[in-house]
Amino acid sequence: MRGLRATLVMIACAACGHEDERPAEPETAMTLSFAARVGDTPFSCSEVIRGVGTTAATVEPLDFRLYVHDVRLITASGREVPFRLADDGKWQSGGVALLDFEDRTGTCVNGTAETNTALRGTAPPGSYTGLKLKIGVPFALNHADAATAPSPLNLSGLFWGWNGGHKFVRIDARVVGSSGGELAETSAFNIHLGSVHCRGGANAVTSCDRPDIGEVVLRDFDPAVTQMLVDYQALVAATDLTHDLGGAPGCMSDADDADCPNLLARLGVNPSSGQPDASQQALFRVE
């Protein structure tokens, strides 16, 4: 009888264990939509941008592209759930996506005619109230050979070189002035975010003192329904675009360039350490 009882208990426990090991619920396909803005105005490569920065400058847009990764959805309880980017052979690969708001019209001459304004992937079914993501390319993918990398990591215009890796953000503009009622070119103001002070050579970069990966946190909205905005005016709000403070024209992620600290902070990067810091992030927002 004892042996029979033990056998029955073991069978019962085994059955209980199988009840707990239920298969995970299939993930749901989801699209997260974004739009480029200049304040309340839709961004356009064919429109002059007026009234931006601390001196209400007028600029012509030249480029507006950025890489993102590590996308997470936020539940009402604050739990972060991975949003798994789907490889599509063009805009998304290896967990990295390129948001491309320029269309090679007007004054935008650096990019491509096609645009990409959405992230496509899957997540567990559920109700979500916010979004987190990182601006940039993960270290493991950042310093690979761009010539052989899968799209979208194969764009030469978004690659600094072996040591520096990719330009995580390329938002270029030309500041213009007035001459006889006509707009006249005066100076460039380019914003390029990327890792700096990296050590190592081709395919052998070991570390970067400043990774300059940005962090974005957006709360109190449904990311599956609400369009997220990427706002050039908010990015440059604390910057005088008409007066470069030294170094490269604009900011090339050099913390010693006086034009960079405000811009890095608004890109979700701690200006002092180069680490992700969403506390002053302003490029992404929700209406």
Q: Kindly tell me if the per-residue pLDDT of 164 is higher than 60.
A: yes
- 193 touches 214 (CB < 8 A): yes
pLDDT confidence of residue 249: 87
Percent of the chain with pLDDT over 90: 76
Return the sign of the alpha-carbon dihedral for residues 111, 114, 115, 119. negative
Q: Give the tens place of pLDDT for each residue, 228-245.
A: 999 999 999 999 998 888
Residue 119: closest CA among 183, 66, 190: 66
**Would you say residue 173 has pLDDT above 50?**
yes
Say whether pLDDT at 119 is over 90. yes
Cα dihedral sign for 158, 160, 162, 164? Answer: negative
Is 150's pLDDT higher than 60?
yes
Q: In percent, how much of the chain has pLDDT > 70? A: 88
Digit-coded pLDDT (tens) for 6-46? 444 444 444 454 544 555 668 999 999 999 999 999 999 99
